[in-house]
Amino acid sequence: MTDLQRHVYTLAQAIGERNVWRYASLQRAAGYIEAELRASGYFPRRQTFDVSRLPVSNIEGTLDGASRQDDILVIGAHYDTVGGCPGANDNGTGVAALLELARRFAGRPQPRTIRFVAFVNEEPPFFHTAQMGSLVYAQGARARGDHIVGMLALETMGYYSDAPGSQQYPAPEMSGLYPDIGNFIGFVSNEESAALLSAAARTFSNGSSLPLQAAALPADLPGTGWSDHWSFWQAGYPALMVTDTAPWRYPWYHTADDTPDKIDFDTLAEVVNGLEHVVRELAASRIPHPRPRT
């Protein structure tokens, strides 16, 4: 069993549904992530806040930059699940990729600082509210004046199909622009993050043979802001989502059948390999990125 498989099976099978209504499981998942980051050589930090009188936490492992320490790249994934869902793909795959990338970069400082962050409370009813873990994090970073040059949200990344018609889209006109076969990984940003998207997509394609579709879309288009990257947009930071497109492809999205047997681990491993190139490039690149809005 690979580490990617181990992470997904632990989160979705050994732990299962994890949210404030399954609080013990949510805490167990947080402890697992913290322990894995520590085993890779990080000193994890918790950002804890209360929801319904229960403490919940974002978990951060930081690799300090070697020459441009104040420039920060955030790699994030949420570890909670919607009610009734074990969350193998949504978002066990994102967390698994996060932990694997953190392991690969551990002890190898890049020019910029890299923060690997597991977010709590991405799912409803906290989605796009003040109690969404990534929004708490992004607003805290904004208040401190952190110079985050880019954020990558790893979201539902493990399902692929070569069947015609396996890929849907939120807007009918997109069907004429993008393939109807769900065998690609998607990079999605708002229009303000187009420079980050372009740099990430170019680097991924140079480092991986996996098909990629990248799009800078209006932020209000359904699906465009459906993950933790949205929170960073609210704080004025460039951010994008890495995804298999979730409900537009994955038949078991937000159901009890979102289990590890549905995951294409070989393709997920290819995504992680490509993302390793992206993270390395963005952590070293001199491509200009906007500073947070004042």
Give the tens place of pLDDT for each residue, 12-66: 999 999 999 999 999 999 999 999 999 999 999 999 999 989 999 999 999 999 9
In a domain, 82, yes or no: yes
Query: The tokens of 32 are what?
Result: 């697992």
Q: Give the amino acid at 182.
A: G
Domain range for 42 is: 3-284
In a domain, 289, yes or no: no
Tell me: pLDDT of 294 over 90.
no
Query: The tokens of 39 are what?
Result: 């085993």
Give the tens place of pLDDT for each residue, 177-224: 999 999 999 999 999 999 999 999 999 999 999 999 999 999 999 999
Confidence at residue 292, expressed as pLDDT on a 0 to 100 scale: 44
Give the tens place of pLDDT for each residue, 230-266: 999 999 999 999 999 999 999 999 999 999 999 999 9
In a domain, 292, yes or no: no
CA distance 87 to 95: 11
CB 44 within 8 A of CB 60: yes
β-partners of residue 240 are 152, 189
Cis peptide before 86 (omega within 30 of 0): no
Give the tens place of pLDDT for each residue, 135-181: 999 999 999 999 999 999 999 999 999 999 999 999 888 988 999 99
- Sign of the CA dihedral 112, 40, 134, 153? positive
Confidence at residue 173, expressed as pLDDT on a 0 to 100 scale: 87
CATH code, 244: 3.40.630.10
Query: The tokens of 15 are what?
Result: 């732990």
Alpha-helix residue ranges (DSSP H) falling in the chain: 3-9, 23-39, 94-105, 133-144, 194-207, 229-234, 265-284
CA distance 288 to 168: 34
Pairing state between β 185-190 and 68-78: unpaired
CA distance 117 to 95: 9
**Number of folded domains that form the chain:** 1
In a domain, 151, yes or no: yes
For Cα atoms 158, 137, 47, give the angle at the middle one, nearest 5 degrees: 100
Tell me: pLDDT of 287 over 70.
no
293 or 156, which is more confident: 156
Confidence at residue 293, expressed as pLDDT on a 0 to 100 scale: 47
Tell me: pLDDT of 288 over 80.
no
- Sign of the CA dihedral 210, 216, 218, 224? positive
In a domain, 99, yes or no: yes
CA distance 85 to 37: 25
SS3 40: coil
In a domain, 272, yes or no: yes
Confidence at residue 192, expressed as pLDDT on a 0 to 100 scale: 96
In a domain, 229, yes or no: yes
In a domain, 128, yes or no: yes
What torsion do the CA atoms of 36, 116, 126, 158 make, to the nearest 10 degrees? -70
